[in-house]
Amino acid sequence: MRRLVVCLFTLVTLLFVSAAFATNARSAVSVAGNDANPCTVALPCRSFSVALTNTAAGGEIVALDSAGYGPFTINQSVTVSGAPGVHAAISVSSGDAIVIQGGTVTLRNLVFIGSGSASDAVNFEVGTKLHVSNCYIRGFANRGIDSEWPGTLTFIDHTTVEDSGIAFGVDDTTAWISDSTAINCNVGIRSYASSGGFGSSVTAVNTNIVHSNTAGVDLVGFGSGNLAFVALDRCSIVQSGITLGSGSGGSTVLVLTGNTIDAISASGSYLIDSFGNNAISYTGGATLTAVPLH
| Confidence at residue 90, expressed as pLDDT on a 0 to 100 scale | 98
* Higher pLDDT, residue 293 or 89: 89
Phi-psi region of 2 (alpha: psi -120 to 50; beta: other; left: phi over 0): alpha
Q: Is the pLDDT of residue 20 over 50?
A: no
Q: What share of residues in the chain are helix, strand, coil (percent, to 5)?
A: 10, 55, 35
| Confidence at residue 211, expressed as pLDDT on a 0 to 100 scale | 96
Count other Cβ atoms within 10 Å, centred on residue 151.
9
Q: Which of 41-50, 130-139, 196-205, 273-282 is least confident? A: 196-205
Q: Give pLDDT tens digits for 248-267.
A: 999 999 999 999 999 999 99
Alpha helix positions (H), the chain = 2-22, 48-53
Q: Is the pLDDT of residue 294 over 70?
A: no
pTM to 2 decimals? 0.91
Query: Rounded distance, CA 170 to CA 61, Å?
Result: 26
| Confidence at residue 15, expressed as pLDDT on a 0 to 100 scale | 36
Q: Is the pLDDT of residue 290 over 70?
A: yes
CA angle 211, 178, 75 (to 5 degrees): 105
* Interval 5-29 mean pLDDT: 56
133-143 per-residue burial string, b: 16 or more CB within 10 A, e: under 16: bbbbbbbbbbb
| Residue-averaged pLDDT of the chain | 92
What domains lie within the chain, and their CATH numbers? 57-290 (2.160.20.10)
| Confidence at residue 18, expressed as pLDDT on a 0 to 100 scale | 37
* Interval 1-11 mean pLDDT: 42
Query: Rounded distance, CA 27 to CA 48, Å?
Result: 9
Is beta strand 279-282 parallel, antiparallel or unpaired with respect to 227-233?
unpaired
